[in-house]
Amino acid sequence: MADSLSIRPRRLRATPAMRRLVAETRVHPSQLILPMFVREGLTEPIPISSMPGVMQHSLDSMRRALAEAAGLGVGGVMLFGVPEHKDATGSGATDPDGILNVATRAAVAEAGDAIVVQTDLCLDEFTDHGHCGVLDARGRVDNDASLERYREMGLAQAEAGSQLLGLSGMMDGQVAAVRDALDSADFTETPILGYAAKYASAFYGPFREAVQSTLQGDRRSYQLDAGNRREGAREIRLDVDEGADVVMVKPAMSYLDVLADAAAISPVPVWAYQVSGEYAMIEAAAANGWIDRERAVSESVTSIVRAGADAVLTYYASELARNL
Cβ-based neighbours of 27, under 8 Å, separated by 6 or more: 298, 301, 302, 305, 312, 320, 324
d(C-alpha 86, C-alpha 134), whole Å: 12
Nearest CA to 28 out of 289, 252, 323, 231 is that of: 323
Helix (H, G, I), strand (E, B) or coil at 80: strand
Helix (H, G, I), strand (E, B) or coil at 260: helix
CA distances from 59 to 64, 133, 137, 263 (A): 9, 26, 37, 36
| Active-site annotation holds for 86 | no
Write down the catalytic residue from 129, 131, 179, 198. 198
**Cβ atoms of 262 and 308 closer than 8 Å:** yes
Write down the catalytic residue from 86, 151, 219, 250. 250
CB atoms within 10 A of CB 311: 23
Report which secondary-structure segment, H or E, holds 318. helix 317-323
| Active-site annotation holds for 198 | yes
Active-site annotation, residues = 198, 250
